[in-house]
Amino acid sequence: MEKAKVKRSFVDKETRETYNTRDNNIWKGTEERKKELIAIGVLEKDEEIQELEEKEPEELKVAEIKALLEEKGIEYPAKATKPELKALLEGAE
């Protein structure tokens, strides 16, 4: 089970639960749903992902680039090289 801090008040359509920022709610659910809610801006991104997004693409390691691609829901070939992964990441921005 994944957890994330609520960034903006919302009602989760899947669970029908209300989350708001006043109560410092922590959302709990699946990793897939968490990504969806981060993408629409109602949940905070994980600190680790935020730190990676602040780095310059040249500074990122292959594993870090893959983590960012996965966070954005972008598929990549298993044997992709670092330049190929960077191109995918840059194309998503």
- Tens of pLDDT, residue by residue over 26-67, are 888 888 888 889 888 899 887 766 777 778 778 888 888 888
74 near 84, Cβ under 8 Å? no
**Which two three-digit tokens encode residue 51?**
């730190």
Q: What percent of the chain has pLDDT over 90?
A: 12
Residue-level pLDDT at 82: 92
At 24, the pLDDT band (50, 70, 90 cuts) reads low
**Which two three-digit tokens encode residue 21?**
């920022």
Left if phi > 0, otherwise alpha if psi is -120 to 50, otherwise beta: which for 21? alpha
* 29: three-class secondary structure by DSSP: strand
